[in-house]
């Protein structure tokens, strides 16, 4: 068994984001404690996905992107001079909304792709493959066809493969951007179970539009909102229990109870 990396605490400080001249996020301050699952909820267009992409420096890939503020990984600013985007992304993994396995690779190669792409030597490939697939609870479904093409899997399996691919890198933090939005209830449930198990070894941030999912998987929840033509921001942030059962802000109450959004 690999020695798993320790989970880390991630925090954002006054994160503001621009696309060109347009500001889309304003002063987001959130703390993601180690081994906790944090759900980001809010209506479409409020900047959740944009925010989560600032956490592993994927945001800067978009032409015209701008950013102010800091993101700290165990106290170190990932936008600081001591960090570069590549080493940030090795420590902070990401799962996207749409499953995106590498179509030219087999299931096995997809799992090992992170190691190869980041230029590491692969010593115990079989072990990494099995461990990662087990942690993403897809091992039993694919163990007999590791050399099949990854795109031969169903959508739900592809998404769990993508999770396994991130896990092979042993990230300290895992960011998930609506990982279940394209999946059926069965696959969704399995991914939720996976998230619960993973939280023992890493910090997880998940964007979701599914209120029940946020309640099932997360320890704390942040509610994002963008009023018309103003940048988005966090309205309320706290324990999931509190956000859903006793929100302080009226807008949070309306949103979690389905009155708008």
Partner 1 sequence: MSFAPRPAVQPWARVNTGRRIQILLASSIPLLATVLIIILTGLDNNIALIGVFLPLQLVAAAAVGFKAFGKRGVGDAALIVLVIFFATFVLVLLASVVFALISQGAQAMSWGFFTTNNRYVSNTTSLEYGGVGHAIIGTLLVVGLTTVVTVPLGIAMAIYLTQSQSKTKGIIRTLTQAISGLPSVVAGLFILSIAITLDWQKSGVLGSMALLPLMLPTIARVAEEALRLVPVDLRYAALALGAPNYRAFFQVILPAAKSGLVTAILLGVARIIGETAPLILTVPISNGTSWDLFSGEIMTLPAYVYNYLGSAFVPSQNRAWGAALVLMILVAILFGATRIISRSKSLKSKPTKEKASK
Binding site for partner 1 (CB under 8 A): 56, 58, 61, 63, 86-87, 89-90, 93-94, 96, 98, 100-105, 113-114, 116-119, 141, 149, 151-157, 162, 165-166, 169
**In the complex, minimum distance from the CB of residue 245 to partner 1, in angstroms, rounded to a whole number:** 34
**In the complex, minimum distance from the CB of residue 89 to partner 1, in angstroms, rounded to a whole number:** 4
Which residue, 47 or 114, is less far from partner 1 as judged by CB? 114
Which residue, 112 or 217, is less far from partner 1 as judged by CB? 112
**In the complex, minimum distance from the CB of residue 98 to partner 1, in angstroms, rounded to a whole number:** 6
Q: Are 111 and 127 in contact (CB under 8 A)?
A: no
Q: Is 219 exposed, middle or buried (0-12, 13-18, 19+ CB in 10 A)?
A: middle
Terminal-to-terminal C-alpha distance of the chain? 45
**In the complex, minimum distance from the CB of residue 211 to partner 1, in angstroms, rounded to a whole number:** 27
* Nearest Cα residue to 190 out of 140, 139, 156: 156
Which residue, 116 or 143, is less far from partner 1 as judged by CB? 116
84 in helix, strand or coil?
coil
**In the complex, minimum distance from the CB of residue 256 to partner 1, in angstroms, rounded to a whole number:** 30
Number of C-beta neighbours around residue 80 at 10 A: 11
- Give the up-direction half-sphere exposure of residue 160: CA atoms within 13 A in the CB hemisphere: 28
Length of the chain: 261
Which residue, 81 or 144, is less far from partner 1 as judged by CB? 144
Which residue, 10 or 243, is less far from partner 1 as judged by CB? 10
């Amino acid at each position: 068994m690999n020695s798993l990396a320790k989970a880390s605490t991630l925090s954002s400080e006054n994160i503001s984001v621009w696309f060109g001249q347009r500001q889309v996020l304003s002063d987001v301050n959130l703390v993601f404690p180690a081994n906790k699952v944090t759900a980001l909820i809010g209506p479409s267009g409020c900047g959740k996905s944009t925010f989560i992409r600032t956490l592993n420096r994927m945001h800067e890939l978009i032409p015209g992107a701008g950013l102010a503020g800091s993101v700290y990984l165990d106290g170190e600013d990932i936008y600081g001079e001591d960090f570069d985007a590549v080493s940030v992304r090795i420590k902070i993994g990401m799962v996207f909304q749409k499953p995106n396995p590498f179509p030219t690779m087999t299931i096995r190669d997809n799992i090992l792709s992170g190691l190869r792409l980041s230029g590491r030597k692969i010593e115990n490939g079989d072990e990494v493959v099995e461990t990662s697939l087990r942690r993403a609870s897809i091992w039993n479904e694919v163990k007999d066809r590791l050399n099949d093409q990854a795109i031969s899997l169903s959508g739900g399996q592809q998404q769990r493969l993508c999770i396994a691919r991130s896990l092979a890198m042993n990230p300290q933090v895992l960011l998930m951007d609506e990982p279940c939005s394209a999946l059926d209830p069965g696959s969704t449930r399995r991914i939720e179970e996976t998230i619960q198990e993973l939280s023992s070894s890493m910090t997880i941030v998940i964007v979701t539009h599914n209120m029940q999912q946020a309640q099932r998987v997360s320890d704390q929840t942040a509610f994002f909102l963008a009023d018309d033509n103003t940048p988005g921001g966090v309205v309320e942030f706290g324990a999931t229990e509190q956000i859903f059962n006793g929100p302080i802000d009226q807008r949070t109450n309306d949103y979690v109870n389905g009155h708008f959004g």
